[in-house]
A and B are shown apart, each in its own frame.
Chain A
Amino acid sequence: MSDLTNRTAAELADDLASGEVTSREVVDAYLARIAAVDGVDADGDVWPAKPAAALRSDEPHAYLAVTAAAARAHADDVDARRAAGAPLGPLAGVPVAVKDILTTRGVATTCGSRMLEGWLPPYDATVTRQLAAADLVVLGKTNMDEFAMGSSTESSAFGPTRNPWDLDRVPGGSSGGSAAAVAARLAPLAIGTDTGGSIRQPAAFTGLVGAKPTYGTVSRYGLVAFASSLDQAGPFARTVEDAARLHTVIAGHDPRDSTSVDAPLPDLTARLEDGVDGMRLGVIRELAGDGVDAGVGAVLREALERLAGLGAEIVDVSLPHAGYALPAYYLIAPSEASSNLARFDGVRYGNRVDAASAEEMNAATREAGFGAEVKRRIMIGTHALSSGYYDAYYLQASKVRTLIAADFRTAFDDVDALISPTAPSVAFRLGENVDDPLAMYLNDVATVPASLAGIPAISVPAGVADDGAGGRLPVGVQVMAPLLGDDVMYRVARALEAATAFDPTPRGARAVAVGEVTR
């Protein structure tokens, strides 16, 4: 049954529907693999899946919590309903992993932070409810940078996640646990969240498809806020089709999220195979040149050639304000974070460090509960919102954001979709950037423009590049589409995927073995 973990979600869905396998068999196969590869006793405590002292350098550490008993019970229930002929959703019975930033009622939700150790949310996030309603079976909660602040998953308070392609390298972040889970075949699908690239960059680093939907099309209710105006949940999968199908499950209007779009959303799979013949695709000049590693640049050029070969017209496009996107992002996101994270004060939930007064208790709790990167961003954000600095920082950044959104609108007057590298490099080594926040932030240079504009963007594996030590690591290409053009985004991504001979199997001395791959 081990080949079950190498099937795509679409294949599993077919096999479940035809009765070839049961959901319970699929879930058991994944739990067995989680035990073998992530070293988690699937019948043990739900949280922590792996105490810090037990972490090993030959395990990816994708999961913070494995909800084995609940997963088995849910799978049995789906199987029973299927046997009884009850109507089921298209992905019913397929397992999924969920980033530990989405609330799960009664199941630990830590956001990778000591601050929320022991907190059991009293309610389910809307995304959690949508997954349950569609009968996807949640295997557990995945590791992440603390409060989604990071690009490597090294800022998790519970230890880093490692890249299944090379366990000495980072999986990207902040949704590194979700990416590692799918890449290491510890889940066929996973939910991540993307604020400035936190789905797309880890997808690129781990050879996966990862999409950030149009802002407002996936509910943020129960997504523990980092930067409210940017946060958006989205899918990780090994194929474009799987990503589109998972995306379809979580998209839709939610009256509990005021920023939720109340408009018809496009069908993401109907025109998936229509190709790019006759489409105009723009390459963003500002994001494709300086600062991009040679190997990444080569993969991008080859991808563009393949798209042109499929009949797309490739044009050069300028986003004049793209160069200001990174600084604007690193003012807006920390500003919102400084306010969003104020509620972690030890009064109502999570960790508390007792002290003589409420003020001292607040301070001591926050001192002990937050890691260095979170504190750094709270400081930056607090400063940017301060009287006397607000106009120069937060307000100015907001204006830049408006200009970038206008740049994109202008560009989309001329082209159907935009193309860039997802990240400037392949996955870097653990520890390589931890002492250099700016180098870490530069990872987001190509992903933050779409975040600021709210438009949909996806990373598709487009090839591999040298890791500089004789190995090969995956490279992702980013496809961006206009607001609510998520269907166009998937269509272009699928065309690129179909034209790319990408080998999705991690190989190399430090890679996680995944066995025979069916696709």
Chain B
Amino acid sequence: MTSQALLDDGWELVVGLEVHVELQTNTKMWCGCSTVFGDEPNTNVCEVCTGQPGALPVANEQAVRDAILLGLALQGRIAERCRFHRKNYFYPDLAKNYQISQYDTPLVTDGELVVEVTGDDGGVERRRVGIERLHMEEDTGKSLHVGDTGRLHGADRSLIDYNRCGIPLLEVVSHPDIRDPETAQAYLRELQAVVVATGVSDARMEEGSIRCDANVSVRRVGEELGTRTEIKNLNSVRSLGRAVRYEAQRQLAVIQDGGVIRMETRHWDESRGVTEVLRVKESVTDYRYFPDPDLVEVLSPPQRVEEIARRLPELPAATRARLTGLGVPREQAAVLVANAAVPVFDEAVAAGAEATAAANWLAGDVVGQLAAEDLSLAASGLTGAHLAELTRLIDDGTLSNTLAKEALAGVIASRGASSPAAVAAERGLEQVSDVGELQRIVDDVVAANPDTVAAIRSGNDKAIGALVGQVMKATKGQADPRKTNELLRTAIHG
């Protein structure tokens, strides 16, 4: 759809994505240091991850199992034997001045991801994106450049935090199968969802636990691939879409002006909405890959892979299909999957909640509030039992929708320590459904508004809303609207 609008007729966009996923293992890839994000600089370090002379790496078994699990979730083939290579280059935040990575024997090959995009007719289209490889490697440290520019060039001095150095990374490389920005975005979102579903990472772009680079080129339909540029600094799914769109149009403009596209790395400037040259790859960097003699082969015999496959959770596509089968709208199902809210949803349904109601609460209020507070669902303490209780309190008239939202906020504020009923009781949120008290208020309102009562009796049924409003006002919003209506009608019509 938009791809036609994006480029002139006869031209085609080609995109391949390289996505780095930081694994959420307890310890780093080659040593026992913690992987916790945001600690004081250089506190989660040891002789191994700071590259002290003589220190040796030992592969983290959990990281290997996680990599296999994600490889299986991406329908990939797991190599029975693979090894680690050294990628040699000098950079101060790379403690050993080589990165342990994989080269000609990646752990996973030949995977795929089927993504859903909205087609020209507004319907759902499914597109397959091939995954060339998934390999294991290690993260680098972080450089902080002190000076006017905040970048390496022109810095007065540089500080390095090695806490991140050695955190296990998976690099997932797609084939250049993507032809429009929407599919690129859908691929990244779907990959995020698969990563979250397998539990190997929280895949938070803003914390860098999932990072995406895009290889972009354009060509005349049917011709050979054009020269590509690599776009870096894509900090959100939205940035990816914008950057790909900008870069495709920039490249086409250059070509149509008679220019040529150079193989280069470009930096996405989010505020200005442009890509800029970061470095020109005049010659391919020679990383002098060779097998790391400090490490042994990783063996993944079929029985080991089968064992790990048994841990495979329901994958996002299947989950969405199951949820829509329960009557949950497609968009909401996608939101639940993307926010790892399905376990809570399932728990709520098992505890008696209506599927549609549970989905509605989770995809709407819960996700919204968590986003506003930058909180994960797990950290919020909200359980399916809470949600089931909340919908029950609404159904039996104890809480109005408005009060239910407040109760929900209270549950999250207590990080799950208080149930919705407990919050409602504590804050006096229950609706006034004590018929005796409500009847007295209704009688007062009817007596105080003879004109309105007369209008209603003469057929202006809508005017009853004004009386309901007065009852609500008198009860500070805690009257059950259904019950109030019922009592008013009885009082007016007899």
Q: Which residues of A contact B (CB under 8 A)?
A: 102-103, 109, 111, 116, 119, 121-123, 125, 220-225, 227-229, 255-259, 335-336, 338-339, 342-345, 347-349, 358-359, 362, 382, 385-387, 390, 394
B97: chain A residues at CB < 8 Å are 342-343, 345
Q: Across the interface, do A343 and B53 meet the contact criterion of CB distance under 8 Å?
A: yes
CB within 8 Å of A: which of B149-197? 152, 158, 160
* 12 further interface pairs, Cβ-Cβ under 8 Å (given A220-B54, A339-B88): A103-B54, A123-B52, A224-B53, A225-B54, A259-B295, A336-B290, A344-B53, A348-B52, A348-B95, A359-B90, A386-B288, A387-B288
Query: By the criterion CB–CB under 8 Å, are B58 and A256 in contact?
Result: yes
Residues on A with beta carbons closer than 8 Å to the beta carbon of B160: 347
A256, B206: Cα distance in complex, Å: 34
Most central of B92, B286, B289, B290 by chain A CB within 10 Å:
B290
Which residue of chain B lies nearest to A223 when distances are taken between CB atoms in the complex?
Answer: B54
Residue from A121, A259, A385 in contact with B53 in the complex, judged by beta carbons closer than 8 Å: A121
In the complex the two chains form, is B296's CB within 8 Å of A258's CB? yes
Q: Is the CB of B53 within 8 A of A229?
A: no
Name B54's contact: one of A221, A227, A358, A390 (CB within 8 Å): A221
Whether B290 and A394, one on each chain, are in contact in the complex, defined by CB atoms closer than 8 angstroms, is yes
Whether A386 touches B286, Cβ cut-off 8 Å, given contacts A228-B293, A359-B90, is yes
Task: List residues of B whose CB falls within 8 A of some A CB.
Answer: 47, 50-59, 86, 88, 90, 92, 95-98, 152, 158, 160, 284, 286, 288-290, 293-296
Chain A residues near B86 (CB-CB < 8 A): 339
Taking a contact as CB atoms under 8 Å apart, the answer to whether A222 and B54 are in contact is yes
Q: A386-B286, A386-B288 are in contact. Are A343 and B294 (CB under 8 A)?
A: no
Query: Which residue of chain B has the shortest Cβ distance to A257 in the bound complex?
Result: B56
Please tell me if the beta carbons of A358 and B96 are within 8 angstroms of each other in the complex. no
Known A224-B54, A358-B158; judge A345-B293 contact (CB<8 A).
Answer: no
- The 4 closest A-B CB pairs, nearest first, are A342-B97, A229-B293, A385-B288, A228-B293
Is the CB–CB distance between A111 and B56 below 8 Å? no
- List B contacts of A362 (CB < 8 A): 90
Name B160's closest neighbour in chain A (CB-CB): A347
A228-B96 CB under 8 A given contacts A123-B47, A256-B56: no
* Cα of A362 to Cα of B89 in the assembled complex, Å: 12
Interface pairs (19), CB distance under 8 Å? A103-B52, A109-B53, A109-B54, A121-B47, A122-B52, A123-B55, A125-B54, A221-B55, A223-B54, A225-B54, A227-B293, A258-B295, A259-B295, A338-B288, A339-B288, A342-B96, A348-B95, A358-B152, A385-B290
Q: Is the CB of A345 within 8 A of B90?
A: yes
- Cβ 8 A contact of A102, one of B54, B56, B57, B294: B54
Cα-based distance from A227 to B284 in the complex (angstroms):
27
Q: Which residue of A lies closest to B30 (CB)?
A: A258
User: Which residues on the A side are within 8 Å of B98 (C-beta)?
Assistant: 339, 342
Give the complex CA separation of A386 and B290 in angstroms.
10
For residue B96, which residues in chain A have a CB less than 8 angstroms away from its CB? 342-343
Residues of A within 8 A of B58 (CB): 255-258
Shortest beta-carbon distance from B155 to chain A in Å: 9
* Residue ID in chain B nearest A109 by CB atoms: B53
Known: A122-B47, A347-B160, A358-B158. A336 touches B53 (CB 8 A): no
What distance in Å separates the Cβ of A216 from its nearest Cβ neighbour in chain B?
10
Among A257, A344, A387, the one with the most B-chain Cβ atoms within 10 Å of its Cβ is: A387
Q: How far is the CB of A453 from chain B (nearest CB, A)?
A: 15
The smallest C-beta distance from A139 to any residue of chain B, in angstroms, reads 21
